[in-house]
Chains A and B, each alone.
Chain A
Amino acid sequence: MTIQIQTPLTDDVVRGLHAGDEVELSGVVYQARDAAHKRLVALLQAGEPLPFELQGAVVYYMGPSPAKPGHVIGSAGPTTSGRMDAYAPLLMQHGLKGMIGKGLRTAEVKQAMRDAPAVYFAATGGAGALLAQRIVGNEVIAYPELGAEAIARLTVERFPAIVVNDCYGADLYEEGRKAYARG
């Protein structure tokens, strides 16, 4: 059964999610990848305000292709989350509750998720044309000079994802792989 989730996330919602849960997210998520994360962390370290409210926020590790005329956004699938591992724990310490991406996280990031609490969702990598259809609003709110790496406020409707890492330390990638490994 698919769990419907509204953003921003509360601790109660985060604690109710478990690795393997299939979800659909609705509400605002913030598009941010490598270059944007570097700037966000620099702002936090300097004690300066961020371009969006981090408390309860969900970030989507994604850099879209350009929108064709009449389209809200171009193709918009997840990028590899591991490149944001160096930045994610600090963001969680400042209120980040959810991350959408694909691929493995480090032990440090998983520990930060237990501490926060926070949750890591995977969307299907390489399904950018399909996922774009679930994005109904798109407004660049910071660093437009970064192009595809700018921060955008995206409004999503029933955006499909699966919980990979929950706030209890479970890891769907490890469990799934173990279940099908041979020899």
Chain B
Amino acid sequence: MTAPQIEIQLIATVVAVSCALPGCFLILRRMAMMSDAISHSILVGIAVGFFVIRDLASPFLVLFAALTGVVTVSLVELLTRTKRVREDAAIGLIFPALFSIGVILISRYAGDVHLDVDAVLLGELAFAPFNRLTVLGYDIGPKGLALMAGILLLNLLFILIFYKELKLATFDEGLAGALGFSPAVIHYGLMTIVSITAVGAFDAVGSVLVVALMIAPPATAYLITDRLSTMLALSCLIGAICAVSGYWAAHALDASIAGSMASMTGMFFLAAFLAAPNRGLAAIFLRRARQRVEFAQTMLLVHLYNHEGLPGEQRENHVAHLHEHLKWEPPFAGRIVGAAERRGSISRDGDRLLLTDRGREIARQAMVG
């Protein structure tokens, strides 16, 4: 690995982790699409700020663009409050308009400088190591890395300091308000953090992929754990793995690094969607199948119990009769009988089925409960 390669991976990792942290709260608060709105509309702030400051990595530009993000959120809320359009439509109206203004400004007036429309969407991670930060004549690393590290620190501090408040406002807004925490302050604080992160990440991975890094790793973690702290840690870890593996996939294909990172986050989510313990599709289907067998066994025991010791017992408590009485196909009936036998709740006498003491107990409980 060459030095620039290491630096790129380092930046990618820092970006992914910085995005995952506020992303967790976004998806828990059902505001995931806000990240889409913010990451698009900050382009106006970046465009206008760029014409004034002329430096894409300046901290002032970050603040300027972050302000645009907060303005976007306020505009959406303002529009929703007029009651003329619903919130989702308001989001869908505000950010395309702002983004359009940004794109037109850039392609019209900045076409020949270091800011173009492709960079907006793709980011320029591959070029990040060329933009060095020097302090007192010493080269201390890429500017992008320094900026993102600062943002990561800010996010960490924000979440550590306001962890309790964020948690409360996220899971029980009413209680948070009643206890005297202002949900509005938490809300705008979070939106500011999201905006700042989006601006910083924007330069590296472009506007749409900020959304991928903010939503996909937390959503993946959300499928795996029930604890907020675990979810935060896990989504950071997933984000970091996606960043590094995405870089190497892009390297192999000679394709967009940011796009490849986003694809990786998608792969991880897909894997969790299919195979997460308890909440994955596979786990759900296995559980359903197990429950089906479980339920059928109980049905069988109750059936046997009902006819035990009665005149029709010979005929009723017979494997062949299950098809008629319980509408079970013979293979299924065979499976259930086998399972019940293995569990020791019935015993077989040829094709006749007899309850054991244990089976009788289970049947009795099922009928009472």
A is bound by B: no
